[in-house]
Structure 1
């Protein structure tokens, strides 16, 4: 188990505190680490709204770290949940958390501080953010997490602001397991959704060149509908994806319309409450296979269901 170790001793006398050390899965490796003795950081504490991103300016020692986790189908939800558990166990208060569109999507991503590629990667259709604070005597520890994905990896950015730190205190109270890395092929649609936070609805068929869902008995929709109808507090976002054939703008439109077609089927055929289902489409921005082969392009043309918080 790898741990994020951040430590710095300043020449000038200053109070020191224990810094969070987050347990990471074995396949994780740090892509960037930067420590500034005294700097400020505008930490987002709300979603982008009305042209603004709510943030608090915090000052102190600033540590910026990025990690790449090469574990196939590990979801942003699974990664964030494990890191969140560790922060809470260490006494951090969660100030704000959001995912993708609820954060503000494109506007949020480009209004907050993110380490550049190739150190950190952010998929506009699949990222999660968390801001936390911990009282540390006369000072406070502020901590932000940003988790996203690429085709073969999860990515984590951590920014910590506070007093100079002493020896790190492990937060290894939550373990990453094989369940976080990949879906079991024997799992049902709902089991995969609950375990990993998302599932590809892989039996859907759309009429060639259109956004219309072909008539048929789709096991994935029946299972998803049963899951949602069982508890009205459950919510999902349907996200449409395309292959890389054609311009992004046109593919985003197609992907959104296909996600909406699936939503209509869940509502009209299975009686799901419309308030439980949101939709989005991101074109070819989040491939799960190579677009250089027909097999890969077919896999990339898909609709996924993502667990989301009630709005």
Structure 2
């Protein structure tokens, strides 16, 4: 997570124009841990897709509604729109902070640009923004629509396109910043976490476990497989278990919760018990089969209480049925 140099951490609320008006994050949003917001911003819109295509534009506009250089990718896409209310900051200041933060976290900057008047064809211009958002349309209505609706006091805009190779896979970050009006700065941050396989059946390795623990404080134990509606580990889980053991033995002082999750199908009591039994099965396997000290692992089940995605789709439910290792 980024730490802003020379700033203080802020919570989810901000006094705006007076001591009465207060802006807050909209309900039901969770900030992506990969990138920390600019102090004073609030989340006004968010849309998360477990798996979808995304076109990352890396070059200027080359023709009518056309960009010549694209990276076509797919994976988990998290789109979060922030607003900053007030006249004490400029879009260029917020842009520069995000650029510095990405560079300090060893992201490769593969495209960047600002346009004070939004004219021209370069990255960050109004044309560029229009083409990229046509290629990656906003599928959920909300305040993010301000990106393409100027006002009489609209100012400049800027875009940063960044890439990072992580143990858990490639990640792309696209930051759009625009001066919507003299007292409103909008920022859309798109994060694309490239997945090797849509099914998520690739077993996690020790390096990826360490990367996610360091970055998020938790890791989804991909490759752990149970019999249908049971807490019986299948033989396909062995590579994942061995990777977990490798990580635990390399980090002997770390303690963890093993947390089971389910989708929302079935009764609450059934899912709570199933998730707890599955967490216990993983902990028991690590302790009894591989000799990990029992005091290092504390199993719990939370059933459907902490979904990673909506339970309305098959892919969402599939992702919600998981076991995580959470650092104490």
TM-score with structure 2 length normalisation? 0.43
Which structure ranks higher in relative contact order (CA pairs < 8 Å, sequence separation ≥ 6)?
A: 1
Structure with bigger gyration radius: 2
TM-score with structure 1 length normalisation? 0.45
